[in-house]
Amino acid sequence: MKALVTGGGGFLGRYIAEQLLQRGYEVTVLARGQYPGLQGLGMTLLRGDVTCADDVDTAVQGKDVVFHVAAMVGYWGRYQDFFNTNVNGTRNIIRSCQRHGVKKLVYTSSPSVTMNNIDIHNGNEDLTYPEHYHSHYSATKAIAEQAVLAAHDPEGLHTTAIRPHLVVGPRDNHLLPRLLEKANSGKLKQIGPGRNKVSVTYVENAAHAHILAAESANTGGKAYFINEPEPVVLWPWLRQILSRLDAKPPRMKVPFGVAFMAGWVLEKLYSWCNIKQEPLVTRFIASELYRNHYFSIARAQQDFDYQPLFSFEQAEEKTLAYIKSTQSPA
């Protein structure tokens, strides 16, 4: 089987590519940067951008399955930039898959496509898309996910969307490292009383879910939440992580209403002044750090027998060991 992984040089994408190799797939990675380590593992690396239809067409040709992981992520930026990568790039992928007779397209989505400053307790795939979003990332991922699922054809291209939540693990340079940096600089503030529960996903488990979904005949036209079976209470968990990494815990608690309004003001100010740097807080970040948002994986368990490769305890140990190995000696 020949597989393409877009964004295969990134955090989750590389784990998917590596697991595909272990399962005997012939793997090609489409990435914007140079990743000599990937070729050393036995993959084919194509340099290109999902926003370029010709790059995508060249990469997709001859493949049996495509994992579309590449995306513009983040909490701040121009809407058009998010739209161009996340929506137009995905449309390029869909068209090329249809043109070249690809059997399966697995799209890396996000649970944030269902979130808009509301509490979600044990949410499932019956959750609907909100009318409005507080981040360009969520809004554009929702448009792209709907395009992928609408492209499902029982007689042709089978499409699936995977929604991993708060992905952590070795080689992560986004989630926990950024929180660690903010904590040590004194910029991390607890939003609200700190009792909110959230789902977390270990990266190797997320990659495993993508591949199982691709290999199943039951996933066509469906989206799936993927995370660890049990949520964590966010702020006690973060404090425990920071303590084990000898980092500074947040010392200030900010009421949610204050943080949310500050996010709104900063978003307006940064937009008016055309400031490209990410604000200290946005409405989306305030909501993420205050609201309950945890999800059921029952549909994934039912449709493609998903079970995590690693327990949460194992995942936490592997993640912390990696972060410690990258820290400079005091």
Q: Where are the alpha helices (DSSP H) in 2-111?
A: 11-22, 36-40, 53-60, 79-83, 89-99
CA 72 from centroid of its chain's CA atoms: 10
In the beta sheet, which residues pair with residue 6?
30, 68
Closest CA to 300 of 249, 238, 231, 224: 224
Closest CA to 221 of 311, 150, 290: 150
If you ran DSSP here, which 8-state letter would residue 248 be given? P
Neighbours of 200 (CB within 10 A): 23
Instruction: Strand 232-233: give its sheet, edge to edge.
Output: 120-123, 293-295, 197-198, 232-233
Residue 283 region, left (φ>0) first, then alpha (ψ -120 to 50), else beta?
Answer: alpha
Q: Which of 35, 75, 133, 137 is catalytic?
A: 137
Tokens of 203: 């990266």
Question: Residue 267 belongs to what H/E stretch?
Answer: helix 256-272
Asked if 306 is an active-site residue, the reply is no
Q: Which long-range contacts (CB under 8 A, 24 or more apart) does 149-154 make?
A: 149/221, 149/222, 149/223, 151/94, 151/97, 151/98, 151/105, 152/220, 152/221, 153/98, 154/220
Positions marked active-site: 137
